[in-house]
Chains A and B, each alone.
Chain A
């Protein structure tokens, strides 16, 4: 009898829960994507340089922790993150770094990787999260918790449509900024 009542209550409440848009749902939605491929165009505003630098290429993601950014223009370059290892290849040069030795860089990479994976725990370890908008058009804002990280990055703003990330904007503490527009490739 009680079980039936409880079942009824659930049935009544479920549609309402579906309608609300919260962080956990965004995360669950994102977590469903096990791999993805997209193209990007990134524009960086750097105070040291007279004009913004623009680059473009493709992004590849495989859940849970493999991310590759292949820049094709202006110069072919690839960045692969696999677990705790970061490999940057530029022409004949190859740099291999352990992320743990560069905590700020690690936190930065985790902001993108954590969002793609829908890993709320990983994101909340380094950032304060706030979500705006609806499932159709959402914006997730990440603000670093660690003062050391705050000295480098002011905030990261990631926006998307349903389970697709559409843009990543980064505001650095020194006023430099970058914005990346992402276009999903046909599956």
Chain B
């Protein structure tokens, strides 16, 4: 030992502790999320931005659908009313609808009072003598029609029929049926409530609170009725996803740590060695979380789930150190000299593979890449530079050379399996060629942690509500509310023409509920002063079976409307229109958007190119036509293609790295053959079992290459005549078993993306080890 050794040792340990403290500090300030954010693009196009906003904050994200099942119809309706009553008093809910006419009176009052600024029919022409005559004639005709019963009382106040106009405009005509005074499903077997939370769907805590409030309201009234409660919606999904991920991650990490610890204890027969062996792992995991936190601002629960699996790989480094340095009875410096270069190359290979993931536009994938790189690098560095200093003098683990010798004789015979292995590979290639077309699952839902049963319930309740998914939306963006409302009014003109041509059934616009100030002023200005209106009215009734005196209330209302303050957003409060406006007009500071959702004609579909062309012809600023379904499909297809490209890129990086280090294409080929064989076999196995590949299978394959490269490198020795040392073989087997234990558990996870990774990596690394032994150079060349 040199004189500076103790100082170096102290410095290394101090540096390590400081690093740990730093990581802990970062992690303590980290925000952990489980929402959709991991699946949304980092640098979205305007269309994707809309999709993202809608998924995380839009009205759609704040809707909660509640169903009451069981018991009998009157009980369900009674429960619906009781629950609605309780929830309406809860500030967590912006609105609670169950078919009861709660807002009807207020809505009518609001429309009545503001009809002259709300109605798009209000123009100077309509209030001319001729215009009044026509409007009155129509109202009288309406009076004679079946609907006359409803409008008769309105006539003296509203002879131009603005109320009828507005009511027709706001009635979307797609409400669920009513049974016993409450909404019910089409088959009548379920009472329905539609809730809108005040908090956005991505605020999982608030959503959880809201769900609790619904459950409490139900329990308080349901008693022994035998009814049951079901809930769905984006917020409900994020809460259940979080619960699933949290419980899975904590359970999986506990079990995998216990399993790996048990395995290591069995081999090491020393608690001290076990604890020391976990130091690189713990440091690596902390570094990984801290790096993701610094790099992304938050850490997704899925990344943590992945982290637990990585324990199984990071522990390999200390296994190599402990088992291999026992060799020759030398100290750990000997190990560093003899084996570190191989392990370092293995680490670099892994990093080369994962680095490509950093480029992914899919945040979930990029997080995994960063986590793996930081975690593996740290674990390896701690094993190399810190762990040797912490080992007590004369540190020894239980002698494993007996196992090693058995393995040695097995390894010597392994090449005999070359032909069977080649046959297996050929079969695997045949399977892959056969399943070529359906190898990948291209549905974005394949990534969702939400269970199939929950998705089915969601679809059922949505169909019951008669609330079709909004697919086509025209988005108007601008720097102020007034600007977007004005443009929305112009877009409405374009869309109205499409309605009349039958291209779309209807559309909605925030400007219906809150016209722009300019439009309101123009409408106010269309109203003539009282004397003028009276004179025109007197002439307008000529030839009609009605006397002008009947319309005294009309004159008074118009006079009042002329001087009424213009309508502001706050005026809509407590009306049904507030909810609609809230959904369609979104704004923050200088960034405002108006959404105009389109409804397809009954039994038909919307011809997107036609609508796009009509909007383009109007050449309005900041107007975008978005097809949400195409966008989300395109988004995921983009991720998948990108992931395939990045995985291939990772492979190229690994090949390049090995070429630079080995300077021998033959050696590179030798190293990569068992890895490629493992990848092909696992993929074919998954395909044969009917599992369609998702992005996380690709990440798993990358991990198989990363972990397997260590085995291949150990088997690839410069002198094939010398057999591999028994201890190296023992260390590889142990490392392999811990990796299988860590990832194997994921294969039993209920979260599809964790399951995908587990089901790929666990069999993959076993195969990589076997192939590495089988395809190793023969001792007697």
Contacts and interface: CB of A to CB of B under 8 A. Distances in A.
Interface stretch (B141-149, B358-366, B527-535, B749-757): B141-149
Q: Looking at B143, B149, B173, B547, which has the most chain A CB atoms within 10 Å of its CB?
A: B149
Interface in A21-42: 42
Interface string A102-143: 101100110000000000000000000000000000000000
B224 to A, nearest CB: 30
A95 B545 CA distance: 25
Contacts of B155: 48
Interface string B578-610: 000000000000000000000000000000000
Contact of A44 (B99, B138, B144, B164): B144
A44 B140 CA distance: 11
Given A48-B550, A55-B144, A77-B141, A100 B99 contact: yes
Contacts of A77: 141, 145
B160 to A, nearest CB: 14
A79 interface: yes
Contact of B547 (A50, A84, A100, A152): A50
Interface string B158-190: 000000100110010101011000000000000
A69 B101 CA distance: 28
Interface string B34-51: 000000000000000000
B146 A79 contact: yes
A140 B669 CA distance: 97
B137 to A, nearest CB: 9
A108 B145 CA distance: 13
A70 B366 CA distance: 64
Contact of A96 (B101, B148, B171): B171
A176 B164 CA distance: 21
A159 interface: no
A51 interface: yes
B149 A108 contact: yes
B149 A105 contact: yes
Nearest to A99: B178
Contacts of A49: 140, 143, 545-546
Nearest to B177: A84
Contact of B150 (A48, A71, A105, A172): A105
B152 A46 contact: yes
A50 B177 contact: no
Contact of B148 (A44, A50, A109): A44
Given A46-B152, A96-B173, A98-B173, A53 B140 contact: yes
Given A48-B143, A71-B145, A85 B546 contact: no
B599 to A, nearest CB: 12
B156 interface: yes
Contacts of B545: 49-51, 53
Interface string B99-124: 10100100000000000000000000
Contact of B147 (A84, A95, A98, A101): A95
B144 A53 contact: yes
B719 interface: no
Contact of B145 (A79, A92, A152): A79
Contact of A101 (B101, B144, B546): B101
Contacts of B147: 79, 88, 95, 105
Contacts of A101: 101, 104, 171, 175
B177 A92 contact: no
A90 interface: yes
Contacts of A48: 143, 152, 155-156, 546, 550
A139 B767 CA distance: 90
A96 B169 CA distance: 9
Contacts of B143: 44, 46, 48-49, 53
Contacts of B550: 48
Contact of A102 (B141, B148, B150, B168): B150
Nearest to B101: A101
A96 B149 CA distance: 16
Contacts of B152: 46, 48, 176
A75 B171 CA distance: 24
Interface size class of B (residues with CB under 8 A): 20 to 34
A15 to B, nearest CB: 42
Contacts of A71: 145
Interface in B433-468: none
A90 B151 CA distance: 15
A3 to B, nearest CB: 39
A85 B147 CA distance: 13
Nearest to A100: B178
A51 B543 CA distance: 12
A107 to B, nearest CB: 10
A92 B143 CA distance: 18
Contacts of B177: 84, 100
Nearest to A176: B152
A57 to B, nearest CB: 10
Contacts of A90: 138, 141-142, 145
A74 interface: yes
Contacts of A74: 141, 144
Interface string A59-85: 000000000010100110101000011
A85 B143 CA distance: 20
Nearest to B99: A100
A109 B147 CA distance: 10
A97 interface: yes
Given A77-B141, A101-B101, A101-B104, A85 B173 contact: yes
Given A50-B545, A75-B141, A90-B141, A95 B168 contact: yes
A53 B155 CA distance: 15
Given A50-B546, A85-B173, A101-B104, A93 B168 contact: yes
Contacts of B156: 48
Contacts of A88: 145-147
Contacts of B171: 95-98, 101
A74 B147 CA distance: 16
A101 B173 CA distance: 11
B173 A92 contact: no
Interface string B312-352: 00000000000000000000000000000000000000000
Contacts of B144: 42, 44, 46, 53, 55, 74
Interface in B654-688: none
Nearest to A79: B146
A46 B143 CA distance: 9
A97 B149 contact: no
Contacts of B173: 85, 96-98
B145 to A, nearest CB: 6
A2 B753 CA distance: 76
Contacts of A98: 171, 173, 175
Contacts of A96: 168, 171, 173
A174 B146 CA distance: 17
A95 B99 CA distance: 20
A98 B99 CA distance: 11
Interface string A159-180: 0000000000000100010000
Interface in B537-558: 545-547, 550
21 contacts: A44-B144, A44-B148, A48-B155, A48-B156, A49-B140, A50-B547, A51-B545, A53-B143, A53-B144, A79-B146, A79-B147, A85-B173, A88-B147, A90-B142, A90-B145, A95-B147, A95-B171, A96-B173, A101-B101, A101-B175, A105-B149
Interface of A: 42, 44, 46, 48-51, 53, 55, 69, 71, 74-75, 77, 79, 84-85, 88, 90, 92-98, 100-102, 104-105, 108-109, 152, 172, 176
Given A74-B144, A79-B145, 7 more contacts: A42-B144, A46-B152, A48-B152, A75-B141, A95-B168, A95-B171, A100-B175
Interface of B: 99, 101, 104, 138, 140-150, 152, 155-156, 164, 167-168, 171, 173, 175, 177-178, 500, 545-547, 550
Shortest 7 CB-CB contacts between residues of A and residues of B: A96-B173, A53-B144, A95-B168, A50-B545, A49-B545, A79-B146, A51-B545
